[in-house]
């Protein structure tokens, strides 16, 4: 139960931090924000790696390896496409 409370605390505080920062992001960067935050949600990759470790049978292992693939697409593709987009934003002159 204690772990749950600690984790919930982290969850709620992180949401507040998120609100504080993201309300300051200008509309012109909203698309890169979406693709970039999408790459961040690829953090599930950590979960996939942890569950595919351990001494598990073939079925959970297969699921976890598939999760590794999808999450990596998210991470690598997300950060790369965000970088591509952001490099296009230029000031006058």
For the segment 51-80, give every residue that binds other proteins (CB under 8 A): 51-61, 63-80
Minimum CB distance to other proteins, residue 17 (Å): 6
By CB neighbour count within 10 A (0-12 exposed, 13-18 middle, 19+ buried), where does 59 fall?
exposed
Give the shortest CB-5-to-other proteins separation in angstroms.
10
Size of residue set near other proteins by CB under 8 A: 85
Shortest spacing between CB 20 and other proteins, in angstroms: 9
Q: How far is CA 52 from CA 44, 57, 68, in A?
A: 12, 10, 9
Q: What is d(CA 24, CA 34) in angstroms, rounded to the nearest whole number?
A: 14
Query: What mask, x for binding other proteins by CB under 8 A, covers residues 11 to 50?
Result: x--xxxxxx-xxxxxxxxxxxxxxxxxxxxxxxxxxxxxx
Tokens, residue 87: 């490099």
> What are the structure tokens assigned to 52, written together?
């595919």
């Amino acid at each position: 139960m204690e772990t749950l409370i600690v984790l919930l605390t982290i969850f709620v505080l992180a949401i507040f931090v998120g609100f504080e920062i993201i309300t300051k992001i200008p509309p012109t960067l909203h698309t890169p924000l979406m693709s970039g935050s999408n790459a961040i949600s690829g953090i599930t990759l950590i979960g996939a790696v942890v569950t595919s470790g351990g001494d598990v049978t073939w079925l959970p292992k297969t699921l976890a390896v598939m999760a590794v693939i999808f999450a990596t697409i998210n991470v690598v593709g997300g950060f790369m496409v965000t970088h591509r987009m952001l490099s296009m934003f230029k000031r006058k002159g």
